A and B are shown apart, each in its own frame.
Chain A
Amino acid sequence: MRSALPRRLRFGLALLAAGFVAAVAGPVFLPDPNAILDPRGAGLLPPLARVFVVQLADGTLLAGEAVHRSGDKLMLWRAGTWQELRLAEVQGVTRRLFVAGTDGLGRDVAARLVAAGRISLAIGFLALALAVLLGTVVGLLAGLGPGPLDRALMAVVDAALAIPLLFVLLAVSAFLGQQTTTVVLLLGFSSWMGVARLVRGLTLQVRQQPWFLAAKGLGLPPWRLAVVHVLPHLATPLLQDATLRLGDLILLEASLSFLGFGVPPPVPSWGSMAAEGFEVWRLAWWLPILPGMAVALVVLAFALVAEGLGELARGEA
């Protein structure tokens, strides 16, 4: 059976669905992303590594690559030596798999990637919502309002477009302090101009349509014209634009936190994970590469969905 959806759209949606499942279900299966498990025994483990985790009576966790019993002792191969543990002290031995390895502190990279993804996506979506809301309101006002208002608003949009984003973002976040809210606000305010331009252009097209003139002739109030007679016609292009924009926002957020000006430190973020990883990349290639790949996959997924939506709208499917 052939699906009616373009291949890119299907591929992109599948990628997004996989990411979504990981983001929602991941925390159920994965350990606490900030939990430190025995850095000496389980630090910098490569992806797919398995270790034995020994829990002692006092709650300490020790990790090692091999265990065996000799008499009343439990021998644990940990950090290059056999370590003797009294059996009476040992509460349990489990075997753990690290799908994406561990970082220098022995934290589970897979769990951190998922936690960071939730943060990145949440920031992206919130910033996008802000940008789309602001851009749509400004675009509608400019497209439907009187000429002087249109020119004034478009001058503001042009001015805002001329401001070099990352520089202002950095300058501002350096002085407002690192807060997740600040990052969302900054990203949102840096991205609404494109939406405003798109909405204005489409609104000007709608204004030419006979049915719009008819609705206007009926004497409907401007807000009703905007919400009922213009907005529904913008849905498809706006959705396509928003999808692409979301990818851009996630890329920007990654750059921001890569430079150390994103969400504050204890919260993992793909950008900051990559930045930390680059300091030890010779010891552990997976630490910088995996977060970078995660960003790339998510951005690719959104771009594919946006392109697929465009194909669908043009009827090329």
Chain B
Amino acid sequence: MTGRLVRRLLASLLVVWAVATATFFLVSLAPGDLATKLTDPRIAPAARERLRQHYGLDRPLAKRYLAWLSGVVLGDFGDSFLYRRPVREVLAQALPNTLLLATVGLCLELILGVVLGLVQVRRPHGFWDRALSAFSLTAYALPTFLVAAGLIWLFAYRWPLFPPSHMTGLLAPADPWTTIKDRLWHLALPAITVGLTGCGAVARYLRGALLDEQAQTYILGALARGASRSRVVLVHALPNAALPLITLLGLSLPFLVSGALVIEVLFSWPGMGQVFYSAVTARDIPLIQAVTILVTAAVVVGNWLADVAYALADPRIRR
């Protein structure tokens, strides 16, 4: 088991390297570098050349690749063209914000999905099952931007309970308690958007898995021994049915990160998605490369952690 996990981890590192290399060459080989992108005719050719030299664009490609790669390994992604600061600093600011939004959103998604699934299997094909099926299907089909816009309209304009955008209020908060409250208040709408758009998949999966489990003989056995229905569902069926949710979560990580892209842009949440969006719009090459690598690494590690968690949770795989 340990050997398999170690091999998976090595393979994951290979993936990160491959994505890093691909982004480097894709970006480097695309026609037109930074200096030619400055279309202002008043810039003298000599100044253009100086810019090239400053960003190291005049050196041969192989040399640039090696220098860049060794920098990346050491955590140095170069300077952002857009923010005029080291990429590392820009990302160090954005990453915690994305992690906060993603973690809270994911928890909401899981809680909502599990509750929906549990309510649905109380009486399969009953009224609540049908109604919630329709709900989770709609939640899945609605595009993220529509859900976000709907929430902003309802809870920021119609009934102004939550702020429509940004992560902090205008005024500097007085004490840590107010800071936390302010942060949570701003977090509400984006996190609910993550939860709403994702809970459908969890609920739909869990409903099917719970129904499958309930057809098993050990459920009948538990009922025969006099266990109550809710105990059978919660204690006997749910852990077994929920096991593959770990993998589902691991696989939904890329979707969470990319889904957060639209959400962060719409809510002006200063996270990785927002940074990436502005980097792509401004063709800030070092920043684009760094975010792509970092997100890939996060996703790869997330998948690996899901594997580890699965192995820990399922005694049949642990060995």
A and B: real partners? yes
Point out residues on A near B: beta carbons under 8 Å: 155, 158-159, 161-168, 170-172, 174-176, 247, 251, 254-255, 258-261, 271, 274-275, 278, 281, 288-289, 292-293, 295-297, 299-300, 303-304, 307
State A300–B143 Cα separation when bound (angstroms).
11
Point out the residue from B26, B276, B303 that lies within 8 Å of A162, measured CB to CB.
Answer: B303
Point out the residue from B11, B254, B288 that lies within 8 Å of A165, measured CB to CB.
Answer: B254
**Given known contacts A159-B11, A251-B143, A255-B145, A165 and B138 CB-to-CB distance under 8 angstroms:** no
Instruction: Judge whether B222 is part of the interface by a CB distance below 8 angstroms.
Output: no
A136 to chain B, nearest CB (A): 21
Using CB atoms, name the residue of chain B closest to A274.
Answer: B145
Q: Which residues of B contact A159 (CB under 8 A)?
A: 11, 14-15, 18
Point out residues on B near A: beta carbons under 8 Å: 11-12, 14-15, 18-19, 23, 26-27, 30, 137-138, 140-146, 149, 153, 251, 254-255, 257-259, 261-262, 265, 276-277, 280-281, 283, 288, 291-292, 295-296, 299-300, 303
Point out the residue from A171, A176, A247 that lies within 8 Å of B141, measured CB to CB.
Answer: A247
Would you call A158 and B146 a contact (CB within 8 A)? no
Would you call B11 and A175 a contact (CB within 8 A)? no
Looking at B146, B277, B296, the one whose CB has the most chain A CB atoms below 10 A away is B146
Can you name 22 A-B residue pairings with CB atoms under 8 Å?
A155-B11, A163-B296, A164-B254, A164-B299, A166-B261, A167-B261, A167-B295, A170-B280, A171-B27, A172-B26, A175-B30, A255-B143, A255-B144, A259-B261, A261-B280, A274-B145, A278-B145, A281-B149, A288-B149, A292-B143, A296-B141, A299-B143
- How many residue pairs bridge A and B at CB < 8 Å? 125
**Given known contacts A172-B26, A175-B26, A296-B138, A164 and B149 CB-to-CB distance under 8 angstroms:** no
State A248–B141 Cα separation when bound (angstroms).
9
A273 to chain B, nearest CB (A): 11
State A164–B255 Cα separation when bound (angstroms).
7
In order of increasing CB-CB distance, the 3 nearest A-B pairs are: A166-B258, A292-B146, A300-B141
Q: Which residues of A contact B281 (CB under 8 A)?
A: 174, 260
Using CB atoms, name the residue of chain B closest to A244.
Answer: B140
State A164–B299 Cα separation when bound (angstroms).
7
Point out the residue from A167, A174, A258 that lies within 8 Å of B143, measured CB to CB.
Answer: A258
Q: Which residues of B contact A176 (CB under 8 A)?
A: 30
Using CB atoms, name the residue of chain B closest to A254.
Answer: B143
Would you call B27 and A175 a contact (CB within 8 A)? yes
Would you call A171 and B26 a contact (CB within 8 A)? yes
B16 to chain A, nearest CB (A): 9
Q: Which residues of B contact A247 (CB under 8 A)?
A: 141
